[in-house]
Amino acid sequence: MENMQLQIDKVTSSELELLQRISRLTFFETFSNQNTPENMHIYLNSNMSLENLCNEYNNTDSSFYFIRINGNVAGYFKLNFSQKYTNNHEKKSLEIERLYLLKQVQNKGFGKQIMNTIFEVSKLKNISTIWLGVWENNEPAIAFYKKMGFEEFGNHQFKLGLEIQIDKLLKINL
Protein backbone atom coordinates (compact mmCIF):
# COMPACT_ATOMS: atom_id res chain seq x y z
CA MET A 1 0.00 0.00 0.00
CA GLU A 2 3.04 2.19 0.23
CA ASN A 3 2.85 5.09 -2.24
CA MET A 4 -0.65 4.03 -3.30
CA GLN A 5 -3.28 6.74 -2.98
CA LEU A 6 -6.96 5.87 -2.60
CA GLN A 7 -9.56 8.28 -3.95
CA ILE A 8 -13.32 7.81 -4.02
CA ASP A 9 -15.37 9.83 -6.52
CA LYS A 10 -19.02 9.79 -7.46
CA VAL A 11 -19.49 8.40 -10.98
CA THR A 12 -20.62 11.08 -13.47
CA SER A 13 -22.99 10.57 -16.39
CA SER A 14 -20.08 10.90 -18.84
CA GLU A 15 -18.34 7.91 -17.18
CA LEU A 16 -21.01 5.24 -17.68
CA GLU A 17 -19.02 3.29 -20.26
CA LEU A 18 -16.08 3.20 -17.83
CA LEU A 19 -18.49 2.06 -15.11
CA GLN A 20 -19.66 -0.74 -17.40
CA ARG A 21 -16.08 -1.86 -18.12
CA ILE A 22 -15.04 -1.96 -14.45
CA SER A 23 -18.35 -3.59 -13.45
CA ARG A 24 -17.97 -6.38 -15.98
CA LEU A 25 -14.25 -6.89 -15.30
CA THR A 26 -14.47 -7.03 -11.50
CA PHE A 27 -17.56 -9.27 -11.53
CA PHE A 28 -15.88 -11.63 -13.99
CA GLU A 29 -12.66 -11.71 -11.95
CA THR A 30 -14.58 -12.40 -8.76
CA PHE A 31 -17.03 -15.08 -9.90
CA SER A 32 -16.06 -16.66 -13.23
CA ASN A 33 -14.04 -19.47 -11.66
CA GLN A 34 -17.05 -20.62 -9.59
CA ASN A 35 -19.81 -20.29 -12.19
CA THR A 36 -20.56 -21.59 -15.67
CA PRO A 37 -19.53 -19.51 -18.69
CA GLU A 38 -23.20 -19.54 -19.79
CA ASN A 39 -24.47 -18.07 -16.51
CA MET A 40 -21.69 -15.47 -16.46
CA HIS A 41 -22.46 -14.48 -20.06
CA ILE A 42 -26.19 -14.11 -19.36
CA TYR A 43 -25.63 -12.06 -16.20
CA LEU A 44 -22.97 -9.75 -17.65
CA ASN A 45 -24.95 -9.08 -20.82
CA SER A 46 -28.17 -8.28 -18.99
CA ASN A 47 -27.30 -6.85 -15.57
CA MET A 48 -24.08 -5.16 -16.68
CA SER A 49 -25.39 -3.87 -20.01
CA LEU A 50 -24.91 -0.16 -20.65
CA GLU A 51 -28.69 0.28 -20.80
CA ASN A 52 -29.21 -1.39 -17.41
CA LEU A 53 -26.39 0.56 -15.77
CA CYS A 54 -27.80 3.82 -17.20
CA ASN A 55 -31.20 3.00 -15.69
CA GLU A 56 -29.58 2.24 -12.32
CA TYR A 57 -27.47 5.39 -12.51
CA ASN A 58 -30.56 7.52 -13.19
CA ASN A 59 -32.34 6.15 -10.10
CA THR A 60 -32.21 9.04 -7.62
CA ASP A 61 -32.24 6.58 -4.68
CA SER A 62 -28.89 5.08 -5.72
CA SER A 63 -25.34 6.34 -6.18
CA PHE A 64 -22.28 4.82 -7.85
CA TYR A 65 -18.74 5.62 -6.74
CA PHE A 66 -15.42 4.87 -8.42
CA ILE A 67 -12.54 3.63 -6.34
CA ARG A 68 -9.36 5.09 -7.79
CA ILE A 69 -5.87 4.07 -6.82
CA ASN A 70 -3.13 6.41 -7.96
CA GLY A 71 -5.72 8.01 -10.25
CA ASN A 72 -6.72 4.77 -12.00
CA VAL A 73 -10.16 3.21 -11.60
CA ALA A 74 -9.61 -0.01 -9.62
CA GLY A 75 -13.16 -0.73 -8.54
CA TYR A 76 -16.52 0.74 -7.67
CA PHE A 77 -19.43 0.51 -5.27
CA LYS A 78 -23.14 1.21 -5.43
CA LEU A 79 -25.20 2.47 -2.50
CA ASN A 80 -29.00 2.40 -2.22
CA PHE A 81 -30.58 4.99 0.07
CA SER A 82 -34.31 4.38 -0.36
CA GLN A 83 -36.40 2.55 2.21
CA LYS A 84 -37.71 0.31 -0.59
CA TYR A 85 -34.28 -1.37 -0.53
CA THR A 86 -34.54 -2.02 3.20
CA ASN A 87 -34.54 -5.77 3.52
CA ASN A 88 -34.34 -5.72 7.29
CA HIS A 89 -37.26 -3.31 7.82
CA GLU A 90 -35.15 -0.85 9.79
CA LYS A 91 -35.59 2.83 9.20
CA LYS A 92 -32.63 4.90 8.13
CA SER A 93 -30.70 2.07 6.56
CA LEU A 94 -28.43 1.94 3.56
CA GLU A 95 -27.68 -0.99 1.26
CA ILE A 96 -24.26 -1.61 -0.21
CA GLU A 97 -25.51 -3.35 -3.35
CA ARG A 98 -22.12 -3.79 -4.97
CA LEU A 99 -18.52 -3.34 -3.86
CA TYR A 100 -15.84 -4.67 -6.18
CA LEU A 101 -12.08 -4.18 -6.47
CA LEU A 102 -9.72 -5.52 -9.11
CA LYS A 103 -7.87 -8.59 -7.82
CA GLN A 104 -4.50 -6.85 -8.19
CA VAL A 105 -5.40 -4.29 -5.48
CA GLN A 106 -7.20 -6.61 -3.07
CA ASN A 107 -5.71 -7.43 0.34
CA LYS A 108 -3.78 -4.17 0.49
CA GLY A 109 -5.93 -2.38 3.09
CA PHE A 110 -8.16 -0.51 0.65
CA GLY A 111 -11.31 -2.41 1.62
CA LYS A 112 -11.10 -1.11 5.18
CA GLN A 113 -10.53 2.45 3.94
CA ILE A 114 -13.51 2.16 1.59
CA MET A 115 -15.77 0.81 4.33
CA ASN A 116 -14.68 3.59 6.71
CA THR A 117 -15.63 6.12 4.01
CA ILE A 118 -19.05 4.47 3.64
CA PHE A 119 -19.45 4.56 7.45
CA GLU A 120 -18.62 8.29 7.47
CA VAL A 121 -21.09 9.05 4.65
CA SER A 122 -23.75 7.03 6.46
CA LYS A 123 -23.28 8.91 9.72
CA LEU A 124 -23.54 12.25 7.89
CA LYS A 125 -26.87 11.09 6.42
CA ASN A 126 -28.10 9.86 9.82
CA ILE A 127 -28.06 6.24 8.63
CA SER A 128 -28.26 3.85 11.56
CA THR A 129 -27.83 0.50 9.76
CA ILE A 130 -25.82 -0.61 6.74
CA TRP A 131 -26.68 -3.94 5.16
CA LEU A 132 -25.64 -6.00 2.15
CA GLY A 133 -26.01 -9.36 0.49
CA VAL A 134 -22.96 -11.49 -0.26
CA TRP A 135 -22.90 -14.83 -2.08
CA GLU A 136 -22.69 -17.67 0.43
CA ASN A 137 -19.69 -19.11 -1.47
CA ASN A 138 -17.73 -15.84 -1.43
CA GLU A 139 -15.86 -16.71 1.76
CA PRO A 140 -13.19 -13.98 1.49
CA ALA A 141 -15.86 -11.26 1.26
CA ILE A 142 -17.88 -12.75 4.14
CA ALA A 143 -14.74 -12.88 6.30
CA PHE A 144 -13.91 -9.26 5.40
CA TYR A 145 -17.37 -7.93 6.28
CA LYS A 146 -17.44 -9.86 9.55
CA LYS A 147 -14.00 -8.43 10.41
CA MET A 148 -15.49 -4.97 9.77
CA GLY A 149 -18.24 -5.71 12.32
CA PHE A 150 -21.09 -6.96 10.13
CA GLU A 151 -23.32 -9.72 11.49
CA GLU A 152 -25.45 -12.20 9.57
CA PHE A 153 -29.23 -11.72 9.85
CA GLY A 154 -30.71 -13.82 7.05
CA ASN A 155 -30.44 -14.67 3.39
CA HIS A 156 -32.12 -14.06 0.04
CA GLN A 157 -32.03 -15.41 -3.48
CA PHE A 158 -29.84 -13.98 -6.22
CA LYS A 159 -30.27 -14.96 -9.86
CA LEU A 160 -27.03 -15.43 -11.78
CA GLY A 161 -27.94 -16.30 -15.35
CA LEU A 162 -30.13 -19.39 -15.14
CA GLU A 163 -29.10 -20.33 -11.59
CA ILE A 164 -30.66 -19.26 -8.30
CA GLN A 165 -27.97 -18.69 -5.68
CA ILE A 166 -28.18 -17.74 -2.02
CA ASP A 167 -26.77 -14.52 -0.61
CA LYS A 168 -26.11 -14.16 3.08
CA LEU A 169 -27.49 -10.90 4.43
CA LEU A 170 -25.14 -9.00 6.73
CA LYS A 171 -25.67 -5.76 8.62
CA ILE A 172 -23.91 -3.41 10.97
CA ASN A 173 -25.52 -0.90 13.30
CA LEU A 174 -23.66 2.39 13.48
CATH number at residue 85: 3.40.630.30
Band of residue 88 on the pLDDT scale cut at 50, 70, 90? low
Residue 40 belongs to some domain of the structure: yes
Residue 165 belongs to some domain of the structure: yes
The predicted structure's pLDDT at residue 3? 76
Rounded to two decimals, the pTM is 0.91
Q: CA-to-CA distance for 136 and 123, rounded, in angstroms?
A: 28
The predicted structure's pLDDT at residue 2? 57
Q: Does residue 85 carry a pLDDT above 70?
A: no
Look up 145 and say whether it is catalytic. yes
Chain mean pLDDT for the chain: 92
The predicted structure's pLDDT at residue 1? 47
Q: Does residue 126 carry a pLDDT above 60?
A: yes
The predicted structure's pLDDT at residue 84? 55
Least confident of 25-29, 92-96, 135-139: 92-96
Domain assignment of residue 94, given as a range: 6-173
How many domains would you assign to the chain? 1
Active-site residue, selected from the candidate residues 43, 76, 100, 145: 145
Residue 1 belongs to some domain of the structure: no
Band of residue 90 on the pLDDT scale cut at 50, 70, 90? low
Residue 51 belongs to some domain of the structure: yes
Residue 162 belongs to some domain of the structure: yes
Q: Does residue 119 carry a pLDDT above 50?
A: yes
* Mean pLDDT to the nearest integer, 74-94: 76
The predicted structure's pLDDT at residue 83? 64
Q: Does residue 67 carry a pLDDT above 60?
A: yes
The predicted structure's pLDDT at residue 92? 83
- Kindly write down the DSSP assignment for every residue of the chain, as one continuous string: -TT--EEEEEPPGGGHHHHHHHHHHHHHHHHGGGS-HHHHHHHHHHHTSHHHHHHHHT-TTEEEEEEEETTEEEEEEEEE-SGGG-TT--SSEEEEEEEEE-GGGTTSSHHHHHHHHHHHHHHHTT--EEEEEEETT-HHHHHHHHHTT-EEEEEEEEEETTEEEEEEEEEEE-
